Amino acid sequence: MMPASMALRGPPMSWSVLFLILAAAALHAAWNTGVKAAGTPALATARLCLGGIVIAVVALPFLPLPAAAAWPFLAGSTVVHVVYFALTAAAYARVDLSIAYPMMRGGGVMVTTLVSPLVFADSLPALGLGGVAVVVLALAALAATAGRRAFGTRGLTVIAANALVIGAYSLLDGLGARASGAPLAYTIWVFALGAFGNLGLLALTEGRGFLAPLARPRDLGLGIAGACASVGSYGLVLTAMTLAPVALVAALRETSMLFATGFAAVLLHEKVGARRVAAACVVAAGAVMIKLA
């Protein structure tokens, strides 16, 4: 992991770059809100996957093929993303967005930080360790403020499992993007292959009739919109990283947790009290500490 002194070097962050990062964070929270808002989150993830496949069909012919060295990571990440889509749908079927999203994202950042020194042979600075401690305490506080009933059947288990999965694909994609020579193409390939896998899994477990609504123009349009939000979020982050210090961009990206909490309160009418908002803010603050380390 890059020392903070090195990570913070570079041109100062302009207001336009700050807007790009906040837009990326809002888009990521938005597509998660869309999945939660759907009556059947599993069908919403299928809709998102179909939209992602459409985007891939349009975009990939104009992008270079990732280098062969990245293919093993691409294969591994594809499998992990299938699990990610399934667990995301399962989490939102059981738990409020304002609880599930910060816990999954914050837990994923924590897992990535603890494991990455073993994978990348990086040292973990004191600021990073402090951030991990803050995230752990904040996640515990968030769970406590929610109460056992808020998690429903196996809700906490699903969230914890998905945090591990988010950490796993973050590490795999970090290695894969480095080896690919074409990070954007690699990302779209991961999204498209994971989407095919998720649709296949749903067809096997739920039956082909479960996916029948995807043929409706409205559902396809919603899927493309959600996929654009997902891919657009990543694209904005990549753009911002070319214009400002990477560590600052990655840290500010974690404001998506705050957007998700706000969307949950305003759009989904979840009962988001002051303690839940405070806990989500502390999770985001811990994630920022980790990213700046």
- Domain assignment present for residue 202? The answer is yes
pLDDT score, position 121: 66
- The answer to whether residue 286 is domain-embedded is yes
Query: Would residue 3 count as lying in a domain?
Result: no
Please state the domain count of the chain. Answer: 1
DSSP 70: G
Q: Is residue 46 situated within a structural domain?
A: yes
Structure confidence at residue 13 (pLDDT): 64
Mean pLDDT in order along the chain per 10 residues (293 residues)? 41 76 92 88 88 91 92 93 93 90 86 76 73 80 72 83 90 84 88 91 83 78 87 83 73 85 91 83 81 71
Following CA atoms 168, 79, 150, 273 in sequence, which dihedral angle do they give, to the nearest 10 degrees? 60
Helix-then-strand count for the chain, H and E: 12, 0
Domain coverage including residue 49: 12-292
State the pTM of this model.
Answer: 0.84
Structural domain contains residue 6 = no
Residue 24 lies inside a defined structural domain of this protein:
yes
In a domain, 234, yes or no: yes
Alpha-carbon distances of 271 from 97, 140, 162, 261, 266, rounded to whole Å: 11, 19, 23, 10, 10
Which of 251, 270, 250 has its CA nearest to residue 260? Answer: 270
With respect to residue 223, please indicate whether it lies within any of the assigned structural domains.
yes
What is the Cα–Cα distance from 244 to 221, expressed in whole angstroms?
Answer: 34
